[in-house]
Amino acid sequence: MTAGLTSTTGGGPVPATATDLDDESAAWRRSLAAGAPERDAAMARLHALLLRAARFEVSRRAGALGERAGRELDDLAMQAADDALLAVLRKLDSYRGDSRFTTWAYKFALLEAAVKVRRRSWRDREVPLEDAAWERISDRRASPHDDAHAAELLSAIRRAIEDALTAHQRSVLVAITLNDVPIDVLAERLGTTRGALYKTLHDARRKLRAALAAGGHDVGEAREGASA
Q: What are phi and psi of 2, to 5 degrees?
A: -115, 110
Nearest to 89 by CA among 74, 106, 72, 105: 105
Does 77 contact other proteins by CB under 8 A?
no
What's the min distance (Å) between Cβ of 35 and other proteins?
A: 26
Q: Which of 51, 104, 119, 122 binds other proteins (CB under 8 A)?
A: 104
Three-class SS state of 129 = coil
Does 122 contact other proteins by CB under 8 A?
no
Does 85 contact other proteins by CB under 8 A?
no
Does 188 contact other proteins by CB under 8 A?
no
User: DSSP secondary-structure letter at 5?
Assistant: B
Separation CA 157–CA 174 (nearest Å): 12
Q: Which of 38, 138, 151, 215 binds other proteins (CB under 8 A)?
A: 138
Does 42 contact other proteins by CB under 8 A?
no
In the bound state with other proteins, the residue whose beta carbon lies nearer, of 189 and 199, is: 199
Q: Which of 157, 165, 172, 175 binds other proteins (CB under 8 A)?
A: 157
Amino acid type, 32: L
Separation CA 149–CA 26 (nearest Å): 58
CB 28 within 8 A of CB 101: yes
Roughly how many angstroms between the first and final C-alpha of the chain, as a whole number?
A: 35
Does 28 contact other proteins by CB under 8 A?
no
Q: Give every CB contact of residue 208 below 8 A, 6+ residues apart in sequence.
A: 157, 160, 161, 164, 165, 173
Which residues are at the interface with other proteins (CB under 8 A)? Answer: 2, 5-9, 53, 56-57, 60, 98-100, 103-104, 106-107, 110-111, 114, 118, 136-138, 157, 173, 176-178, 180, 182-184, 194-195, 198-199, 201-202, 205-206, 208-209, 212, 219-220, 222-223, 226-228
